[in-house]
């Protein structure tokens, strides 16, 4: 009986010690993910306003209003990668996020266009890719349904980043 109580006390004490340790590990992982996301330019292609010189911090990673055209492949806007369940990647597991980052494969099986630099991200360590996934799951969800992607010939109802031959005039910023 005494031994039993002793065991319980040891168990309770170890839970009390281990729980904050686990939380600290999570914080460290999310911090690492934030560091890589900041460095990896995710904000550029995934936050609205960025390409107009005014990234909207209140909709961080909530999806771009600009699609990249790849001739012959289509046009691809940077998608909403916040944990919003309807319009973002809130239903994706960490493993599914890692598969998209490192293999360019979405949960629905579609391969992401190479303008999303997943060929480069394939070289992340698994720990770093998981840290990115943990950070993405920690940012505030943004409700923003990004249209597309668009096939060649589709009408694109949003801004388009396009490669043009020399001799064009530079566009003005939208009002
Ligand atoms: C040069 C622009 C660019 C950069 C930089 C970029 N992405 Fe992307 N990303 C895209 C585009 C465009 C798509 C959509 C491609 C498609 O639909 O085929 C995408 C798709 C994704 C997806 C899949 C979302 C979905 O719903 O299919 C995830 C996850 C993602 N990016 C995460 C990131 C992270 C994390 C970073 C930074 C480490 C990053 N991206 C950097 C352009 C970019």
Ligand 1 pocket (Cβ < 6 Å) reads 37, 40-42, 44-46, 68, 76, 78-79, 81, 89, 97, 100-101, 106, 112-113, 115-117, 132, 149
How much distance in Å is there from the Cα of 46 to the middle of ligand 1? 7
Q: What is the largest distance, in Å, between two alpha-carbon atoms of the chain?
A: 89
If one counts every other C-beta atom within 10 angstroms of the C-beta of residue 37, the result is 20
Q: If you count them, how many residues does the chain have?
A: 175
Residue-level pLDDT at 13: 57
Using CA atoms in the order 95, 98, 100, 104, what is the torsion angle rounded to 10 degrees? -120
Atom of ligand 1 nearest to the CA of 146: 26
Residue-level pLDDT at 170: 83
**3-class secondary-structure state, position 70:** strand
Residue-level pLDDT at 21: 59
Residue-level pLDDT at 143: 98
How much distance in Å is there from the Cα of 104 to the middle of ligand 1? 9
Taking the chain (175 residues) in runs of 10, the rounded mean pLDDT of each run is 60 58 80 97 97 96 97 96 98 98 98 97 97 98 98 96 88 76
**3-class secondary-structure state, position 160:** strand
Atom of ligand 1 nearest to the CA of 136: 35
Q: How far apart are the first and last CA of the chain?
A: 77
CB of 75 closer than 8 Å to CB of 156: yes
Residue with CA closest to ligand 1 atom 34: 42
Contact partners, residue 95, CB within 8 Å, separation at least 6: none
Question: What distance in Å separates the CA atoms of residue 100 and residue 102, rounded to the nearest whole number?
Answer: 6
Atom of ligand 1 nearest to the CA of 121: 38
């Amino acid at each position: 009986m005494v031994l039993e109580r002793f065991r319980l006390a040891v168990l309770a004490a170890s839970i009390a010690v281990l729980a904050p340790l686990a939380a600290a590990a999570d914080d460290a992982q999310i911090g690492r993910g934030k560091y890589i996301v900041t460095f990896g330019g995710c904000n550029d292609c995934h936050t609205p306003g960025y390409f107009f010189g005014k990234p909207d911090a209140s909709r961080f990673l909530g999806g771009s209003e600009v699609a990249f055209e790849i001739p012959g492949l289509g046009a691809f806007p940077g998608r909403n990668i916040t944990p919003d369940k309807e319009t973002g990647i809130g239903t994706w597991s960490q493993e599914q996020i890692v598969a998209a980052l490192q293999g360019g494969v979405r949960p629905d099986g579609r391969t992401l266009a190479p303008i999303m630099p997943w060929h480069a991200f394939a070289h992340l360590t698994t720990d770093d890719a998981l840290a990115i996934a943990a950070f993405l799951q920690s940012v505030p969800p943004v409700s923003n349904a990004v249209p597309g992607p668009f096939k060649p010939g589709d009408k694109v109802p949003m801004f388009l980043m396009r490669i043009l031959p020399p001799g064009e005039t530079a566009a003005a910023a939208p009002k």
